Chain A
């Protein structure tokens, strides 16, 4: 009787600890899978740029590729930094929508310079013990320029791979967003609303530029 009670306690305790404990760090992302993922996203982007379609169509295709490739939610949330805690769920939702458009417009503009460019995956690097993310190393070459080494930080979420950071010459894009947005929020002095307003203003500007002429 006593023994049975103890057994039940142990089983229940183990079950509870398994349930309560944070999910164990999932195994590192598979290297080959991560490489193929980056190569695929890059090739799709290059194809979209080279395809003989209108600017509007190109923009739509790039938006879809960016959604498939980037974890824009992680980018956006991280970029809010310490101001995220002060924002309401509605504000965050509004902000994330504006942020997604911002990423799409800026990347569409940037990718436009890769008309005869290409991306060559060269290797991978594990993020280390504190993270199961993986860095995919690549050489990005645009319009007859010297290739630039670019590191894509890839995370596996619910079985899907997504880019959560882009590194060039020791700089992290996600960190640059956070620093810049903190400056905007601080300068405007009205919290995340000021940032949303500036993002929308910028989006209108960038959209006008992207769609002009075609």
Chain B
């Protein structure tokens, strides 16, 4: 009887300790969430039609991305463009593209797109051999350019909705669906398991620098000429993503642009 009471007491005490730390954790969470959402609250909430309920925190992440890009991304990309001749840049890009072909292939298969799967398979074989280990995209010269497929697109083909807009740290614009896709793609490339970690990282960094270098002018233009860079990028990202999912094919009715009297 006494023993049981004691146990209950002890248990109660332990419970108390737990409750205390739980309260503290919840408090910390509220502080963090509050900090993230203040931008959102101050702006009067996100426009429901923009499908961006986390706009406040997304904009905060975007600001950090922008700062990183201005201080690291752009200078590195510019230096890369200035120092590395176009021929070498093309070889690096072709190699990174060839490295990613297994992901394109797997996703073409998962999407049930036999034609694209076959094209990608042939590209990978041709470029890995005749293209000297992928450094030359000879398949593209023979009229077979890359079919970019990723798991986010596969999910879309399977009927999964994109979900809200997500601004990922460093990686930039995405959606909930796109984020899941990115994580899966990161693990689905069989070649990366045969490469040392250092090789994988080098490949990813090189790919990132190359991509940033090619987008320097486009993003510069958008930033300079837009009223709201974040919103402009969100619109263009979504439209372009839809186009990628449809493999560049025009689907559905044409955009309805009315005739205006004045």
CB pair B239–A183 under 8 Å, yes or no, is no
Whether B248 contacts A170 by the Cβ 8 Å rule is: yes
Question: Top 3 nearest A-B pairs by Cβ distance?
Answer: A170-B243, A183-B231, A179-B235
Interface membership of A166, Cβ < 8 A: no
Given B226, B254, B255, B259, which contacts A180 in the complex, CB threshold below 8 Å? Answer: B226
Q: Which residues of A contact B186 (CB under 8 A)?
A: none
A180:B232 contact, CB within 8 angstroms: yes
Binds B, one of A28-36, A37-45, A50-58, A73-81: A73-81
Check A192 for interface membership: any CB of B closer than 8 A: no
Closest Cβ of chain B to A165, distance in Å, is 7
Interface: A123 (CB within 8 A): no
Known: A179-B231, A183-B231, A202-B227. A113 touches B256 (CB 8 A): no
B-contact 0/1 string along A121-147, CB 8 Å cutoff: 000010110110100000000000000
List 19 A–B pairs whose Cβ atoms lie within 8 Å, in order of A's numbering.
A105-B225, A109-B221, A109-B224, A125-B250, A130-B254, A131-B257, A170-B246, A170-B248, A171-B239, A172-B255, A175-B255, A176-B236, A179-B231, A180-B226, A180-B227, A180-B231, A183-B50, A183-B231, A184-B227
- Is the pair B239, A175 in contact by a Cβ cutoff of 8 Å? yes
Which residue in chain A gives the minimum CB-CB distance to B225?
A106
Q: Which residue of A lies closest to B47 (CB)?
A: A186
Chain B 33-69 interface residues, beta-carbon cutoff 8 Å to A? 43-44, 46-47, 49-50
A131-B221 in contact (CB<8A): no
Instruction: Report if A199 contacts B (CB, 8 A).
Output: yes
| Nearest CB in chain B: distance from A136 CB, A | 14
Chain A interface residue bracket vs B: 35 or more
Is B221's CB under 8 angstroms from A170's CB?
no
Interface string of B250-262 (1 = CB under 8 A from A): 1001111111101
How many chain B residues sit at the interface, stated as a range, is 35 or more
> Who on chain A is nearest to B48 by CB?
A186
B256 touches A130 (CB 8 A): yes
Within 8 A of B (CB), among A69-93: 73-74, 77-78, 82, 92
Which B residues are CB-close (under 8 A) to A187?
43-44, 228
User: Are the C-beta atoms of A183 and B221 separated by less than 8 Å?
Assistant: no
CB atoms of B240 and A170 under 8 A apart: yes
Any chain A CB within 8 A of the CB of B244?
yes
Are B262 and A73 closer than 8 Å at their CB atoms? yes
Report the separation of the CA atoms of residues A183 and B240 in the bound assembly, to the nearest whole angstrom: 19
**Which residues on the B side are within 8 Å of A184 (C-beta)?**
227-228, 231
A77: which of B43, B240, B243, B260 is its contact (CB, 8 Å)?
B260
CB distance from B240 to the nearest CB of A (A): 5
The reply on A189 being an interface residue by CB < 8 A is: yes
B239, A176: Cβ atoms under 8 Å?
Answer: yes
Smallest beta-carbon distance A100→chain B, Å: 13
- Residues of A within 8 Å of B243, CB to CB, are 169-171
**C-alpha spacing A103/B30, complex, angstroms:** 44
Q: Contact at A175–B235, with CB atoms within 8 Å?
A: yes
B-chain residues with CB within 8 Å of residue A133 when the two chains form the complex = 254, 257
Cβ-based interface call for A182 (8 A): yes
Cβ of B217 under 8 Å from chain A? yes
Contact A74 B257 (CB under 8 A): yes
- A52 and B226 alpha carbons, distance in the complex (Å): 29
| A169 CA / B47 CA spacing, docked (Å) | 26
Q: Does B242 contact A (CB under 8 A)?
A: yes
Q: A73 and B231: CB pair below 8 A?
A: no
The CA of A161 and the CA of B250, in the complex, are separated in Å by 23
| Pair A183/B228 contact, Cβ less than 8 Å | yes
The answer to whether the Cβ of B89 comes within 8 Å of any Cβ in the partner chain is no
For residue B203, CB closer than 8 A to chain A, the reply is no
Q: Does B78 contact A (CB under 8 A)?
A: no
A198 at the interface (CB under 8 A from B): yes
Given A153-B257, A176-B235, 19 more A-B residue pairs with CB atoms under 8 Å apart are: A77-B260, A78-B260, A82-B49, A105-B225, A106-B225, A157-B259, A170-B240, A170-B242, A171-B236, A171-B240, A171-B243, A174-B257, A175-B235, A176-B239, A179-B235, A183-B231, A186-B46, A187-B43, A187-B228
